[in-house]
Chain A
Amino acid sequence: MIKNYLKTTLQNIRKHKFFAVINILGLSIGIASSMFIAMYIVDELSYDHFNKNGDRIYRVVLDGKLGDQVIYTTNTTGKLSDALRTEVPAVVTATTVRGWGSTSMLYEDRSFIERKAIVADSAFFKVFTYPLLYGDEKTALKEPNSVVLTEKLAVKYFGNASEALGKLMVIDGDSVSFKVTGVAKDVPDNSHLKFTALLSQDSFKKRFDNDVWLNNNVQTYYLLGPNATYQQVDEQMEGLLQKYTSPILQQFMGATLNEMRAAGGEYRYSSQPIYDIHLHSIYSDELDPQGDVSYIYILLAIGVFILIIASINFMNLSTAKSANRAKEVGLRKTMGATRQQLIGQFLIESMIFSIASAVIALLIIYLLVPSYNMLTDKMLIMQSVFQPTIVSILIAVVFVVGILAGSYPAFYLTSFEVIDVIKGKLNAGSKNRAVRGVLVTFQFWISIVLIISTAIVYKQLKYAQDKKLGIDKDRVLYVISAFRLKNNSEAYKNALDAYPEVESTSFTTTRFPGTNNNSVYRSKGDERDHLLASYAADYNNQKTLGFKIKEGRFFSPDFPTDTAAAVVNEATVREMGWTHPLEETIIDFNGDAEQIERKVIGVVEDFNFESLKDEIRPLLILYATNTPSIAIRFNGKDYKEVISKAEEEWDKLVPNEPFEYSFMSDEFDSQFRSEQRLMKLFTLLTGLAIFIACLGLFGLTAFTAEQRTKEIGIRKALGASVWQINTLLTREFNKLVLIAFVLAIFPVYYLMNGWLNNFAFRISMGIWVFVMGGIISLIISWVTVSFQAQKAARANPMEALKYE
């Protein structure tokens, strides 16, 4: 029997090639896109699962509240991992990880800047699974001045990973060399923690011995005991805070932890499963940017939508062709086929279509894997399609699409009464036509929702990137890790200032966006604590970055006391509640050292020094020179010239140190890299959804035109022009698109408003995006329909009219 069904299916495909091609093309593109989406999602969900004990690895995070400021950060104290190891029985072991930023590395004549170096203690490999190709996990990070490289890095410096072990490298121009004690396999892409070099913590023992309990600037991870719960650890961390942090709090701020909490404050460590880090983290100060689970949901929805659109094509085209099939159904019925058997036959038929499309989809995936990787920054290989999860998803998709697409035609086509079919008394199918109308409307509803949403996302991202920051982010070059100039830094700066292209240069501790320092300060005469972001820079900083002074002045060499003064932004003035800021003084607790009183000498207009997703926070600017970075404001367009001059001067002074730079505008724009990537993905998927919907419309018009050839012929003979015939056919579909448009407005508005509220600086949607979306979809559908309609309208009407 199956063979018989197969034969009729093949016969039908052969007879209606055009419709079969449209169906299979739509379905295979739909399946291919949904498989790409599935692979993307599976990859996102797989983050950190390569860790053998991943379900028992936790990261400690800090929830704090100081006055009105709420802090959620991944930063913890460097003291914590030791305490967890020795004082918390539920913890097997804990490790401290510190981002090390850009690090220069030198081996013989090979010298590069590595951006992904981290510092870790010897427990690192006990917590995480990053297997070593060479070296011993137990000892690799034990000794001072040890470094573990990834395979890629080892090859870069030593030509061959097996040669690396035991070699000595100069790191950050240090006088002591680092010994390569291990070569790790390259860090998998789906690791939230990415590194190319691991420096042993004890290499910097002196520096880290200064760690205090109140200072949070490292990441702490621990491995939970097999029978313990993280709630137990959370409880015991509370004990640690009471024991160690509370006394320090009292010493510096005059309140114990409990007193601080009683006053509405908060300061608490808690555990975050590492599986949650990539998609579910709300904490700031990640070492690498992480994903966002809401985008996963959006992608999932788009994937499902695309499959629905493709399935609807199948339903519409098969029912539209029903008259041809009705005769076959009637005949089979007279020969004793039951309705169930016939339904089964049609479902098998749609399943055959679905399977054939899946095969073509695999081919499409094979061809598009490189473009997909480029688009998503992922490293997918064709083999990963054949991993069990993806294969099961593919099978499920094929099955669901087969059933979904086949069910309506099956029930519809088998509902005919034999006697009507034989007598040729098939009702023109007005109900069936209405259902098709609803389905086409739904397809266009989806397409319009996608078009308008994509446009709004695009508008917001563009707005955020072009937004006036309050500083001039263009034409600022940062020289990175300038401390490597040692005593030559002044000379270097002066050499740069001598160039006519250079307008001004400034030493600064921070490269915007972001500051790496957040501390508690007070206004003199006020007992309340305030958290201020801060950075330090020299006299030229304001001129170089281009922010504006609102009151008072910036640091100046004319006032020797300025080196201990303070400049604040408007947000600080609001936070402190000052009315005459220039008469105020800031108390700087200055870590363990003597506290400093800093007179406020100026207020700058608020400018965006962090992510545009955040409000502008209170900022404190201090004076410093010979800092790790140099900002260079240049004029003209020739940034290459400026780079080569900056490098030339650098090489004159420290020829062994690699020169490294970045542009402020790039660093601001890179905040949106993941959004831009998603934007590209959404645009592509929207395009595909529309394309598939148009394929369906294309087929349906061909069918309508065929069905109405006689009418078209008559109208033409009576004087209708091609244009009028075209209108006759397009009108019907335009109406549907208009309905879809109207129905799309509210949900899009609601959804996008929610999304835009994530941004501190957001656009208003405006009606034009909607109008545009409507017009675009009308044009697209009109062109698609016209393409077919023209053909019908140009045919010789006599052909249609001469035979009955």
Chain B
Amino acid sequence: MIIKTKDLTRVYTTDEIETTALDHISIEINDGEFVAIMGPSGCGKSTLLSILGMLDRPSSGDYIFNGTDVSRFSEKQRSQARKGSIGFIFQSFNLIEELSVFDNVELPLLYQKIGTSERRERVEKALERMNIMHRKNHFPQQLSGGQQQRVAIARAIVSEPSLILADEPTGNLDSANGEEVMKLLSELNADGTTIVMVTHSPYDANYAHRIINLFDGQLVTESVKKEFHV
């Protein structure tokens, strides 16, 4: 089991107003699963994803990642644990504008201190897989939305993570490009990568094995769409 949470709670405090973004969430996600998180705007989907990605810490509750309790990890430990094992894909692509396509994809490997030749090899492999190799020297602004998202996916998979977290990966794309992104994610999942994806689109959610529904920070239902065998 790659992810297991117990009573995960996240409270935001701003100007003395407390918002409970996550309210005692307990979920389990197995290795190789493809899970979609759904729910109305503001129900806590992104918050959950950022805690699962160890970008944020829960206010209370436990989070066991790959058998280790990471919920009390320090900033440094989280950064260490995240590196190389989790890839992120965002709705707004979030490529660094000052860096070329190649450099953007290379970035996670730089932080893992991987040698030059191996980096080049892996970046090119990821770009080829995403079918965007011919644009490797372009800058993000010069690409279409679909192309940018493919670069972002290439960047997410270049360090060969076991888990990919995607927050509305198709939110900014037209249906054709969106479909392509979903296909790529399914392929990655078929190759063994666990995927947790936030989405508003029931159509996209169909690609997942299982759907987790949140409402107002609470877990409402879990529905299994497809058979998944461990």
Contact = CB atoms under 8 A, between A and B. Distances in A.
B79 A798 contact: no
B111 interface: yes
Interface string B123-153: 0000000000000000000000000000000
Among A715, A716, A721, A798, find the residue whose CB has the most chain B CB atoms closer than 10 A: A798
Contact of A710 (B55, B82, B94, B111): B94
Contact of A714 (B50, B75, B76, B94): B94
Nearest to A725: B79
Contacts of A189: none
A328 B129 CA distance: 47
A719 B107 CA distance: 9
A796 B111 contact: no
Interface in A687-734: 710-711, 713-722, 724
A711 B96 contact: yes
A507 B90 CA distance: 93
A116 interface: no
B214 to A, nearest CB: 15
A804 B108 contact: no
Measured as residues with beta carbon below 8 angstroms from the partner, the interface class of chain B is: 20 to 34
Contacts of B177: none
B75 A715 contact: no
Contact of B75 (A717, A722, A803): A722
A719 B75 CA distance: 11
A802 interface: yes
B55 to A, nearest CB: 5
A728 to B, nearest CB: 11
B91 A804 contact: yes
Given A715-B107, A719-B82, A801 B94 contact: yes
Given A718-B155, A724-B111, A804-B91, A798 B96 contact: no
A713 B95 CA distance: 11
Contacts of A716: 55, 79
B165 to A, nearest CB: 9
Given A716-B55, A796-B55, A802-B46, A721 B79 contact: yes
Contacts of A798: 46-47, 49-50, 53, 55-56
Contact of A718 (B50, B80, B88, B98): B88
Contacts of B47: 798
Nearest to B47: A798
Contacts of A802: 46, 90-91, 167
A794 interface: yes
B79 A719 contact: yes
Contacts of A173: none
Contact of A717 (B55, B92, B98, B112): B55
Among A715, A718, A720, find the residue whose CB has the most chain B CB atoms closer than 10 A: A718
Contacts of B189: none
Contacts of B111: 715, 718-721, 724
Interface string B88-111: 101110111010000000011001
A800 B73 CA distance: 22
A797 B75 CA distance: 12
B172 interface: yes
A715 B47 CA distance: 19
Contact of B88 (A717, A720, A721, A724): A717
Chain A interface mostly helix, strand, loop or mixed? helix
A802 B53 CA distance: 13
Interface string A174-208: 00000000000000000000000000000000000
Nearest to A797: B55
Interface in B44-95: 46-47, 49-50, 53, 55-56, 75-76, 79-80, 82-84, 88, 90-92, 94-95
Contact of A801 (B79, B80, B92): B92
Interface string A781-797: 00000000000001011
A713 B50 CA distance: 12
B53 A719 contact: no
A411 B56 CA distance: 43
A722 B91 CA distance: 25
Contacts of A801: 90, 92, 94
A719 B84 contact: yes
A713 B94 contact: yes
Contacts of B90: 801-802
Contacts of A721: 76, 79-80, 111
A766 B112 CA distance: 43
A802 B107 CA distance: 20
Given A718-B155, A804-B172, A796 B56 contact: yes
A713 B83 CA distance: 14
A317 B34 CA distance: 48
Contacts of A710: 94
Given A717-B55, A718-B111, A721-B76, A796 B94 contact: no
Contact of B92 (A794, A796, A804): A804
A602 to B, nearest CB: 75
Interface in A435-451: none
Given A716-B55, A717-B55, A719-B84, 17 more contacts: A714-B107, A715-B96, A717-B53, A717-B88, A718-B108, A719-B82, A719-B112, A721-B111, A722-B75, A722-B79, A794-B75, A798-B46, A798-B50, A798-B55, A801-B90, A801-B94, A804-B172
20 contacts: A711-B96, A713-B94, A714-B94, A715-B96, A715-B111, A718-B88, A718-B107, A719-B83, A719-B84, A719-B111, A720-B79, A721-B76, A721-B79, A722-B75, A724-B111, A797-B50, A797-B55, A798-B46, A798-B53, A801-B94
Closest 8 CB pairs of A and B: A798-B50, A719-B111, A719-B83, A804-B92, A718-B108, A796-B56, A717-B88, A721-B79
